[in-house]
Chains A and B, each alone.
Chain A
Amino acid sequence: MKKRFVCVWFHHLEADWFAMRKPALKMAPFVLAAKDHGRMVITAANALAEEQGIKKGMVVANARMILPALEVLDHFPELNDKLLNKLAEWCIRFSPCVAIDAPDALIFDASGCAHLWGGEIDYLTTIITRLNDRGYQVRVGMADTIGAAWAIARYGQSSPVIEPGMQSSALLSLPPASLRIEQELVERLYKLGLHQIKDFISMPRSALQRRFGQPFLQRLNQALGMEQEFIQPVQPIEAWQERLPCLEPIVTLTGIEIALEQLLNSLCKRLEQEQKGIRTLHLHCHRIDDAIITVSIGTNRPSRNLKHLFKLFENKLQTIEPALGIELFVLDAVKVEDHTAVQEKLWEKQGGLHDTQLAELLDRFTDRFGRNCFHRYLPDEHYWPERSIKASQSLEESITTAWRTDQPRPIHLFPNPQPIEVTAPIPDYPPMFFRFKGQLHKIIKADGPERIEQEWWITEGQHRDYYCVEDEAGQRFWLFRAGHYDAAKTYGWYLHGLFA
């Protein structure tokens, strides 16, 4: 597709912003000034001030000579960048690829965008009116190259649109400054009597390069489309992104659902062609009051099942506040993984951990209860009971060591060992009685002890001597004594678990 670029030039960016904040300033000439070597130098002036011949770079004292009523405001050093950034993000509604052209312009890659607004003239008119409504004075230009769009936006006299392929003829009557070259070079060209581009465009390239250098030639070539130029978009273009601009702002839940379904449908189709599946998906809703609301979902396994993805979004759609209406939906698959159709078939058959339906069920759980709601446990190489398992959130992770069955383990393990009172013969016989929560248990059968040492390289502490005991009723317990019997009574008896 033939590239088309739009350049939006904010000729009084900062002044417009101040005027918006203080409506009284709209009717008065004012400038912004910053201290520079002990003088106040003007950094920006509004249109009224410029009419009087006050320009950027002048000293305030000189400007006051011209216009004694001139109002001088303080310059905010970072305001310009902030404003441009914000405007660039806002302008994503006009084109997915918006770049900042410091200090006071935006460049859109508008290839294939204009027809959505009914043609290039209408497209530009919309951009101008929308920005004017916000309070910004802009000039725009549209051309095949960034250089030409830039030139026409700043120096164009008639139409802001240069028809495809016509940039060389359109540029002829523009001054050399429209080529984005240094001021020094512009002055040199003027000195030589080259006041318009047509004065030197037909000169031999080698002569131009010799006299004005390579950068000048590069700029000329870029403007004419003989050399490619790239822009750095404010938001990188996602490969897996779907956009749905709405003619009328959407305010109802049903409307949002329909929009989401349409977006998911086209995204899933694309994913299917490329054999990919979604892991993380964001839905950005651009509201007409400039707010962007984002809801996101995640899956445990790559998926491109429209029904399933929609279901995950279902709860979250309720939280979207449309306010005055949503004019643009952007569905952004942030994390995409390979997901081939062959895999899908295999999974459907198996019904094990790789089951698609299981993964979808767990997605629904995650969506509703949070990331940490489910675990699998894998054996870990530790004897200490609490450390003998490790939790895993992944369905893929497989065991690296086998489950041990050489020593009995209780089916219920208390998170914290419960202290008990015990009557036990020394040195290391199992207890005869123990009392837990006021109830006395007489021990009939017992096994043990099984000594488990504390892993000193992890934490210090006493060892445990575990006993499996059974009381009169047949209840089976896992008890332990922490530490050795000693006079200082540093040992203690605990109930740690119940056997089946």
Chain B
Amino acid sequence: MFAFETFPVDPYMLQPKSDIIRRLQHEILPLQGYKSALGRSSLKIDLDAINPAFPNATFPLGAIHEFMVNAPGTKAATSGFVTSIISSLMKEEGVVLWISANRTIFPPALSFFNIDAHRIIFVDLRNQKEVSWAVEEALQVKGLAAVVGEVQELDFTASRRLQLAVEKSQVTGFILNNNKKNNTNASLCRWQVQVAPSIPIDNLPGIGYPCWKVDLLKVRNGCPGSWQIAWMNGRFSTTTNKRIVYKEFHKKTG
């Protein structure tokens, strides 16, 4: 006589393959530093056509975003783009720390990006060493909406420390990097924002909505690309649907 033994059934076996892949992706993403990509839906940053570039089509919060500001004309554009993102982060009671050694940000301009400038604390320090220390210290504090740090250099070790700090505290860090070289580091995304001609308001002459050419040079597990994006009436909208997709340069690091 044969006795039918009941084997425990692997739940994966009963699902279609695509489901399994999605589930595995959800397990892998947090390990890669995308903790906020899943869950925590109260805060969402809508970057219009840029969204699909990120895993799960969500702008990663609680991560380090590095912005290269080494080229002329990028600093003002980057400040504009970063403050626009921060404006959505500050919708709740959050406070932003802006840490730099030679700051020229003019707070009244921030209200054009729907930010209460009095909820930003500007930390003005003397040198880069102090800025690096302060940025790391600030990123460890839970409850901040974001930390912006203007640095001269972000090497691999420093970026790794910052990334580890934010993975714990879930604070989003924006590092404006003035380094001439684009060296490898551990930040989750690397951006470059350049100026672009403004978009006229109702076809009137004069300066219109601010517009930027945004290059997402690197994004872990996502698709880098280049877009033109404008800040119109409190939200982002990409002006051209034409999207240049960069082939991501993968470096195997074991």
Which chain A residues have a beta carbon within 8 Å of chain B's beta carbons?
350-353, 355, 357-358, 361-362, 364-365, 368-369, 373-379, 385, 388-389, 398-399, 403-405, 408-415, 444-447, 468-470, 473-476, 497-500
Q: In the complex, how many angstroms separate the beta carbon of A392 from the nearest chain B beta carbon? A: 8
**Which residues of the partner chain A approach B162 to less than 8 Å between Cβ atoms?**
none
**Which positions 224-254 of chain B face chain A at CB distance < 8 Å?**
231
A352-B95, A355-B143, A470-B207 are contacts. A411–B105 as well, Cβ < 8 Å?
Answer: yes
Does B111 contact A369, Cβ atoms closer than 8 Å? Answer: no
**Is B85 part of the binding interface, using a Cβ–Cβ cutoff of 8 Å?**
no
B79 contacts chain A at the CB level, 8 A cutoff? yes
Q: A350-B93, A409-B106 are in contact. Are A362 and B121 (CB under 8 A)?
A: yes
Contact between chains at B106 and A351 (CB < 8 Å)? no
Q: Is the CB of A352 within 8 A of B108?
A: no
Q: Which residues of A contact B126 (CB under 8 A)?
A: 369
Of the candidates A352, A357, A365, A374, the one whose C-beta lies within 8 Å of that of B93 is A352
A410 and B134 CA atoms in complex are apart in Å by 27
**Chain B, 183-210, CB within 8 A of any chain A CB:** 195-198, 205-208, 210
Interface stretch (choices B2-10, B28-36, B51-59, B70-78): B70-78
Contact B76 A352 (CB under 8 A): no
Q: Mark B105-135, 1 if CB is under 8 A from A, else 0.
A: 1111111110011111111111000100110
Report the Cα distance A373→B93, complex, angstroms. Answer: 23
Contact check, A411 vs B93: say whether CB atoms are below 8 A apart: no
Residues of B within 8 A of A403 (CB): 108, 110-111, 116-117
Interface contact B109-A375, CB-CB below 8 Å: no
| A369-B130 contact given A364-B137, A405-B112, A474-B197, CB 8 Å threshold | yes
A–B Cβ pairs within 8 angstroms, 14 of them: A353-B119, A357-B141, A369-B130, A374-B122, A377-B107, A388-B108, A389-B108, A412-B79, A412-B104, A445-B205, A447-B206, A474-B196, A499-B76, A499-B109
Q: In chain A, what residue has the closest Cβ to B196?
A: A474
When the two chains form their complex, are residues A415 and B108 in contact, meaning their CB atoms are under 8 A apart?
Answer: no
- Is B211 part of the binding interface, using a Cβ–Cβ cutoff of 8 Å? yes
Q: Which of A351, A411, A470 contacts B143 (CB 8 A)?
A: A351
Are A411 and B109 within 8 A (Cβ)?
yes
A409–B197 touching, CB < 8 Å: no
What's the interface size class on B, roughly? Answer: 35 or more
Which chain A positions have C-beta within 8 A of B81? 500
Shortest C-beta distance, B123 to chain A (Å), equals 5
Judged by a CB distance under 8 angstroms, whether B83 is at the interface is yes
Q: Nearest 6 A-B pairs (CB), nearest first?
A: A500-B80, A351-B143, A413-B106, A352-B93, A403-B111, A498-B76
User: How far, in whole Å, are A473 and B77 apart by their CA atoms in the complex?
Assistant: 12
List the A side residues contacting B77 at CB < 8 Å.
500
Q: How far is the CA of A365 from the CA of B207 in the complex (A)?
A: 40
Residue numbers of B with Cβ under 8 A of A are 73, 75-77, 79-81, 83, 92-95, 97, 104-113, 116-126, 130, 133-134, 137-138, 141-144, 195-198, 205-208, 210-212, 231
**Contact among B75, B76, B125, B141 for A361, CB-based, below 8 A:** B141
Question: Across the interface, do A470 and B198 meet the contact criterion of CB distance under 8 Å?
Answer: yes
B146 to chain A, nearest CB (A): 12
Whether B79 contacts A470 by the Cβ 8 Å rule is no
- Of A355, A364, A365, A412, the residue contacting B105 (CB under 8 A) is A412
User: Complex: how many Å from CA A444 to CA B200?
Assistant: 12
Given contacts A353-B95, A413-B106, contact A373 B125 (CB under 8 A): yes
Kindly report which residue of chain B lies nearest to residue A444, judged by CB atoms: B197
Task: List residues of chain B with CB within 8 A of the CB of A405.
Answer: 111-112
CB distance from A366 to the nearest CB of B (A): 10
Option from B110, B118, B207 in Cβ contact (under 8 Å) with A376: B118
B112 touches A409 (CB 8 A): yes
**What's the minimum C-beta distance from A349 to chain B, rounded to whole angstroms?**
9
Q: Is the CB of A358 within 8 A of B143?
A: yes
Q: Which residues of B contact A362 (CB under 8 A)?
A: 121
Determine the distance from Cα of A385 to Cα of B108 in the docked complex, in whole angstroms.
9
Query: Contact: A445 with B207, CB < 8 Å?
Result: yes
Q: Is the CB of A404 within 8 A of B104?
A: no
Which residue of A379, A414, A468, A475 has the most chain B CB atoms within 10 A of its CB atom?
A475
**Alpha-carbon separation in the docked complex, A352 to B113 (Å):** 19
* Docked-complex contact A475 and B122, CB < 8 angstroms: no
Q: Is the CB of B117 within 8 A of A476?
A: no
Contact A410 B207 (CB under 8 A): no
| Nearest CB on B from A430, distance (A) | 10
B206 touching A411, Cβ below 8 Å: no
A410 touching B106, Cβ below 8 Å:
yes
- Does the CB pair A377–B124 fall under 8 Å? no
Distance of A475 Cα from B137 Cα, bound (Å): 34
Bound-state CA distance A376–B98 (Å) is 10
Contacts of A469 in B (CB 8 A): 207
The answer to whether A414 and B118 touch (CB under 8 A), given A364-B137, A373-B124, A500-B210, is: no
Q: Is the CB of A497 within 8 A of B106?
A: yes
State the CA gap A77–B143 with chains docked (Å): 63
* CB of B154, distance to nearest CB on chain A (Å): 20
The answer to whether B118 and A474 have CB atoms under 8 Å apart is no
- The answer to whether residues A374 and B117 also contact, given A446-B207, A497-B106 and a CB cut-off of 8 A, is no
CB of B79 within 8 A of CB of A474, answer: no
- CB atoms of A377 and B122 under 8 A apart: yes
